[in-house]
A and B are shown apart, each in its own frame.
Chain A
Amino acid sequence: MKRILLSTVTLGLIAGAVSCANLDEKLITGVSSQYYSTPDGLNSAVIASYAQLRGYYGREQLISLQQVGTDTWMAADQSGSNNKDFDSYGGGFNSTVAPLANTWNPAYQAINTLNAAIDRGPAATGISQATKNSLLGEAHFLRALNYFTLVRQFGDVTLNVHEKQGVDASAVRDPAKDVYTLIIADLDTASALLPRTQADFGRATKGAAQTLRSLVYLTRAYLAFSPGKQGDFQKAAADADSVIASGTYSLEPVFADLWCVRRTADPGRTGYCENAGYNGNKKEFIFTVQFGPNGIYDATHVDADNEYNYLHLVYLGQYDNNGLWVGTPRDLNNGRPFRRMMPTPYELSVWNKYKGDPALNDTLDTRFDGTFQTTWIATQNNVKNATTNCPACTSGAVENIGDTAAVYLPFGVTTAFRQSKAYQILTPCPSQQINNPAADFSPAGYCGDRNNANDGYFNWQRYPSMKKFQDNQRANLTAQEGGKVQVIFRLAEVYLIAAEAAVGLGDQAKAAQMINVLHVRAAATNHKADYNVTASQMTLDYVMDERERELAGEFTRWYDITRPGVDYFLNRVKKYNPHGAANVAARHLLRPIPQSQIDGVVVGAKYPQNPGY
């Protein structure tokens, strides 16, 4: 009995002793914010800010915010309601549409990370001054880049210049003028601190800061609050000249090589973009967003955000299983056609593809074939086009692997020409046939025996595919995860900025000189000498067309046509975008502030919406 009593008491005492549980908390998995104070902290914040670029670049919202609804690009059939709203400026285009928050949120989160780096960085110890300078320069560059996106899309926005230390549910909109001032100050700091070259491909450089600054000055020059229009054009030109003169960058000799590796089987480069062996590191690239080592997305090492380059999907028209031609089932090379965006008729008219009569087939500007995939090669043996699908072509002719299966031609052809080919030939349709963008073409998806070269309308399901982002290094044919770099700035654009600034300054000779640099590279081998422009041709419209020839699909277009101001923007959209022409209005020069931002500001004054929304 006593033994039991004793053991019970002992048990109780043990229980009591063990019970002195420790209430201290020790974080083992995960990293606390104290890490920013370590020598690696500054670098880790800057790296995270690069990674945060992937929350915006390479993603679907770029389509809505930077490309559709312009003179040159419009929504295709599977564009999704968001892109279609941005394209048509229609009734569904309001503050709740997702791409707005998908742009706004990553930018402000990245800005907070960058503010942490900028606030804490100067006190960082244990790293060399050169490294510290570079990291701080990168932080200022990235902050400027994020604010530049915000100010161009939304106008007056909240300026945060310090890391948020607590919960802040209040916010005010600062004048766009002040945002530009901060951006320029950041870029002044960045260009002073950054080295000309970086050992790590993808880190910002002095040239990147200067390029961005020249574009910022160019943009501000047109704005009402510009401290001096001519002064801004001059500063834009000076930065551009400095980048060109630095010798750090050079134009890739062959335009198509910017995006792809040369395939011997496709000397005309009309087919898909081959990426095997392509790492995206070109002397022409000034700043890029990276999505995978050597341009290959690695699905097995991703963080929780799982952010990849999605853009390979968005420009592709349907070529597989389309009831129109045969022999080309969906494959990795030709890509997964998400049909988000297609060229407007105007886009197809700017190219100078041929010298003289198109029928002579004398290529002048190689950039069309370097930009669009117009030819599909059969990947199946022993297939035939049905007469119902291809009444005019050589009925009953058999296609085998390697044969041409379909070709888009930007001009009409004769029945005799069609009948001489076993493959489908797709040509533009007259505009009146597609008042309703959803309408399909009867009977067979081509427009018959016509010779109306530049009507330019293709069916919005099937159209030439913009191929700069095509990525056949993905894991498989359905994989959405792409690893190709997205180019934000390249040297060719610097020439275009210089040209536009020169037009603004009335220096047309210099503008022509800049454009001709690009023309020499763009011209076919036999036209290197005769594809040039003269000073008298140099207008803003010409530069805009040249921008499209050079930068088509690279997500600059919405900024390009809004930059000169509201009249230019309205005129261009009304004239050239069949979906948006009816609805576009002055308010559309700025996007609505995302509703989540307005709803989230619950302290202080209500967050103001842009007028008209």
Chain B
Amino acid sequence: MGRRTLLAILTLFAAGTTAGAQSGGTVAGRVSAPDGRPLPGIQITVSAMARGAVTDSAGRFSIANVSPGPHSVQARGIGFTLGTSPVTVASGQTATVTITLTPTALELNPVVVVGYGEQERRTVTGAVSTVTAEKLKDIPTADPMKALQGRVPGVDIIAANNEPGAAMNVRIRGVRSLTASNEPLYVVDGVPIGGGIQDFNPETIETIEVLKDASATAIYGSRGANGVILVTTKKGVADGRLHTSYSVDAYAGTQDPVRLVPLMNLQQYVQYMKDGAAANGQDTSLARIFSAKQQFAIKNNISTDWQKVTLRSGAQRSVQTGLNGSSGDTRFTMNASYFDQVGLIPGQGYNRGAGFASIDHSGDKLRLGLTTNLSRILTNQGEGGAAYGYLFAVTPLGQPINYMNPDSAGLYDPRPDDDPLNLNPLLEAQSVVRQQNVNRAFGAAYAEYEIANGLTYRVNFGPDYTQLTNGCWNGTWTHGNCSNLGAQFGNQGQPPQAGQFNQQDFTYTLDNLLHYNKTVLSQHHFDLTGLYSIQHDRFSKDSLYASNLPYPTQLWYDLGSGTAGNQRSLISEWSLKSYMGRVNYTFADRYTVSITERADGSSRLAPGHKWAYFPSFGASWQIGDEGFMRNFPAISALKLRGSFGSTGNTAIAPYATEGTLSARLYTFGTTRVRGYKPGSIPNPDLGWEKTDQSDLGIEYGLFNNRVSGTVDVYKMKTHDLLLTRLLPATSGFTSTLQNIGSTENKGLELGVTTIPIRNWRGLGWTMDVNWATNKNKITALASGSQSDAANVWFVGHPINLPGDQQRQVFYDFKYVGVWQYADTLEMKKFNAKGSTFKVGDPRVADLNGDYRISADSDRTFVGDTYPGWTASWSNRFTYKGFDLSGLITAKWNYVFIDQTPRSYNGRFNNVADLDYWTPTNPTNKNPAPTTGAVDRLYAATRLYTDGSHWRIRNITAGYTFSPRFANRIGMQSVRLYGTAQDPYIHTDYIGIDPEVRGGVPTVRTLLIGSNFVF
């Protein structure tokens, strides 16, 4: 590599040949936004030269060896209009240019990352949405997917719960699979990874592309059906000279619940218990209803607000430092970060330390690169959501500390209100330690060699190793147990128990790619890609468990000191072998056709059925560039694209095609014996579930791109569904996995970006609106049947996912109110046919009017959890150095089960929903209270609740100091900002959050931060 070459890695002209050393001048300069902010990552090209540079974090670039004479310098950046500036270069001198780029809504021009390569956006035939680091940065969070919430139409991202470190559930264009996964495939720097990207520091991500339709996803074949999320990490900035810049980002803030659930106070609780006793014809004297401790509280008027005493203020902070730069043909970036979150429930927290490094080297013919991400994540799960749940059960008459027994002064009371099953949430939180440690090493290495002009060979190697350790410790006074580790109900008053499990997962991907790119007769551009790829995964897990531990301080680190419990271990392996070919043909830079075919061979399928094929076809037409469009000056850009193709869903577990036996233990007298019963039915015909998808899209720009956006309509048919079908027990099994049935998804997605004010006396305003609707339904079930009530699957109705904890489709009796005195005659007709209704009982609809409530004829569809539509609205204002942005999201028309406990059965309820039935309050909202901890019949049918809501996701205000000021204090740039995340939810719902249900309250984060580059 004797000669120096210039880097052109991210430019459009990367395929160009090298230029020899010659006497020329240098072009240097700076690119900034209208507000003066330096713009990093902008591609700079100098006319007539097949090379260029990319701006550094201070917006600077420098290109040497430019032939003397007049040139045009072009600056291209994602999200900005093309900027040009004339320059005259003199030999041996440096010519300086300053280019200001104005933001554009329309992202028609730049390159986008597609599967196995990059492509000019204008020729892309698939539905691909790009989110840049710029936008991700607005939301300071640990999980990149959280920053993506509401940014892409048709992509629904919801946290599984609100506990620190909780995973994000991502649904692209709704759900289609009944029992297999609906999570998309994540690909980081070309390496498909298992699971999500929550281990990656958002700051190391350059762009996230969401591939939504078959033309884009079919090249991932058997894993593309749920959409693909391509993550490109940051690369070093090359400007052809030895150069390094350093940055430090830090923020810190507090987290508090957005909403709390109203709880009963002492008077309200006493009244409610009396009402319950009265409704059951029981003695309502305090002495008969309440325990000794409770009576003591009543006498002394002690009322505990358990929510207040249990929850604490959370916190979130982050600090990271990075450097990036280049030296000759090599560019590099490094980043070290630390993120820490303190949860609302004592014992909960999350922290992550991560190191990221990327190095790229370009020679004449050869390019090499390596990206690594090392992260260590410690999640303290504690008692978590369960502790929050307990505080709805324990009565306000209990006290955290046992004040009746002087011996226990200062100690938490394990039975604060005397009810043996009512726990002390504070003691629980203190007595349970659940800790998860994840160490992950991810790498992506490539070598690319240009064999001939336009023909390159590339090898990608991507190892990904995750080592996870889970520790679980339950102290003396806890109710829970280390459930995944062994079985022992409760632990109240017993010595501690603990367990640990370890799992290792090693995956690697090895791709061999041939890429050929050729322009024939100047109008015909061909781009051919061929792939041979393998992936292998090895997963192993082991667990240990012990009870009767003598020393609480040892947690799970001396399991040998207790009574040994379960020991388990397992291994599971799979491999995937693939061939893929892709042809892109563009004519006259306006008409593009893209054809792909992928063949996947999988170890998970039965012999003879291992291979599956996934074709796709896409076409696009840049109408905007046609001559006749000059007649429509208002339309500044217009592109039409369409595609159809087939993708698969990979989620068959290894060994699922083999019939297995499951072990059962038994005892004969003193001897423990082990037997095997049939566990699953062998199914050699099991294959991938396949989705055929068609998409029609328009990308447009109006009024000089002041208004721009996309419109997509799509239809998907998923067939050969993998169903864990519930079987009648007479089949000998309760369920089996089969390829049966089909579903359909239809949707419409709109994305509009406008620039109402481009630059009016220093003021800029951009506004994005996204709107999407998706309807799914089941179109066929097994053996032509129309309904499967056991699974709540009905043809023509939405998809219920039985694997989830919560149902999605509600097929149940319909709640119509409470039996009132006025209805007595009607009620007697029911009672004459075997019912035992009383006034104050919940009343459900008798749909067939036969005065008998029966599961066969009186259940109906009372709603589903799929929103009618979702929308987001974001605004960004800039004024000189100031910026202000906000994001609002909305979700409308859906139903969910209100799980805020309001059972009114004399136990486990202190939520202050006081509108329950009594003779003097004949409401229809809630039935009469009762006693005995058993709900009134059909009481649960009133809990289906409308979830329509809108919320403010984020408000950020920042100030960027002028470059002059920054330079004066030795910086390249300085920005200070404040952010409010999830500050407000607008809903009628009494509980915490109609979108993220269960667990702990949704948090409002208020934080301030700063970015320094020097």
Contacts and interface: CB of A to CB of B under 8 A. Distances in A.
Interface stretch (A23-31, A363-371, A447-455): A23-31
The 5 closest A-B pairs by CB, nearest first: A47-B675, A112-B732, A600-B728, A201-B669, A48-B675
Contacts of A299: 486-488, 547, 565
A109 B669 contact: no
B736 A167 contact: yes
16 contacts: A19-B512, A27-B660, A29-B570, A31-B676, A43-B675, A45-B676, A50-B666, A91-B837, A95-B855, A109-B677, A158-B730, A167-B731, A321-B291, A583-B834, A596-B729, A600-B790
A96 interface: yes
Given A25-B655, A301-B566, A49 B575 contact: no
Contacts of A595: 789-790, 855-856
A477 B420 CA distance: 12
B855 A96 contact: yes
B489 A481 contact: yes
Nearest to A461: B932
B667 A292 contact: yes
A322 to B, nearest CB: 10
Given A36-B676, A160-B732, 5 more contacts: A16-B532, A321-B420, A438-B280, A481-B487, A598-B856
Interface stretch (B22-30, B253-261, B304-312, B779-787): B779-787
Given A18-B510, A80-B934, A25 B282 contact: no
Interface stretch (A4-12, A210-218, A219-227): A4-12
B877 interface: no
Contact of A323 (B291, B734, B854): B291
A602 to B, nearest CB: 4
B510 A596 contact: no
A50 B282 contact: no
Contact of B668 (A30, A203, A479): A203
A105 interface: yes
Nearest to B676: A44
A599 B788 contact: yes
Interface string B456-478: 01010100000000000000000
A549 to B, nearest CB: 30
A5 B668 contact: no
B853 interface: yes
B510 A600 contact: no
Nearest to A441: B283
Contacts of B673: 47
Interface in A265-293: 279, 281, 290-293
Interface string B563-597: 11110011111111100000000000000000000
Interface stretch (B377-385, B602-610, B633-641, B757-765): B602-610
A21 B575 contact: yes
B728 A601 contact: yes
A59 interface: no
Contact of A15 (B288, B510, B545, B831): B510
A166 B731 CA distance: 9
B287 interface: yes
Nearest to B570: A29
Given A8-B457, A12-B457, A23-B603, A30 B489 contact: no
Interface string B847-881: 00000011110000000000000000000000000
B677 A45 contact: yes
Interface of B: 1, 280-283, 287-288, 291-292, 363-366, 418, 420, 447, 449, 457, 459, 461, 486-490, 492-494, 510, 512, 532-536, 545, 547, 563-566, 569-577, 601-604, 607, 610, 654-655, 657-678, 681-683, 725-734, 736, 738, 781-783, 785, 788-790, 830-831, 834-837, 853-856, 931-935, 937
Interface in A214-247: none
Nearest to A79: B934
Interface stretch (A124-132, A251-259, A302-310): A302-310
A171 interface: yes
A111 B664 CA distance: 15
A568 interface: no
Contact of B492 (A116, A306, A478, A613): A478
A22 interface: yes
A357 interface: no
A81 B669 contact: no
A293 B670 contact: yes
Contacts of A79: 934
Contacts of B935: 81
A32 B676 CA distance: 10
Given A299-B486, A475-B494, A112 B283 contact: no
Contacts of A534: none
A386 B880 CA distance: 80
A613 to B, nearest CB: 8
Interface string A383-414: 00000100000000000000000000000000
Contact of A163 (B292, B667, B732, B854): B732
Contacts, number: 339
Contacts of A594: 729
Contact of A51 (B665, B730, B856): B665
A80 B790 CA distance: 23
A30 B655 contact: yes
Nearest to A112: B732
B488 A481 contact: yes
A602 B733 contact: no
A296 B312 CA distance: 44
Interface in A81-129: 81, 84, 88, 90-92, 94-96, 101, 104-105, 107-113, 115-116
Given A32-B659, A202-B669, A160 B730 contact: yes
A21 B675 contact: no
A300 interface: yes
Given A44-B675, A109-B729, A4 B366 contact: yes
Interface in A164-221: 164, 166-169, 171, 200-203
Residue from A25, A91, A613 whose CB has the most chain B CB atoms within 10 Å? A25
A164 B736 CA distance: 13
B669 A303 contact: no
A293 B566 contact: no
Contacts of B490: 478-480
Residue from A4, A78, A107, A613 whose CB has the most chain B CB atoms within 10 Å? A4
Given A78-B932, A299-B565, A583-B834, A21 B577 contact: yes
B668 A290 contact: yes
Contacts of A36: 661, 676
A52 B447 contact: no
A361 interface: no
A33 B459 contact: no
A378 B353 CA distance: 58
Interface in A567-613: 583, 585, 594-603, 607, 609, 613
Contact of A602 (B666, B674, B677, B783): B783
Given A18-B510, A32-B660, A583-B836, A164 B731 contact: yes
Contacts of A476: 492-494
A578 to B, nearest CB: 14
Contacts of A305: 664
Nearest to A582: B836
Given A15-B459, A44-B676, A301 B665 contact: yes
A300 B547 contact: yes
A294 interface: yes
A33 B661 contact: yes
A108 B729 contact: yes
A19 B668 contact: no
A280 to B, nearest CB: 9
Interface in A149-164: 158, 160, 163-164
Nearest to A596: B790
A330 interface: yes
Contact of A35 (B280, B547, B565, B676): B676
B287 A388 contact: yes
A600 B729 contact: yes
A602 B457 contact: no
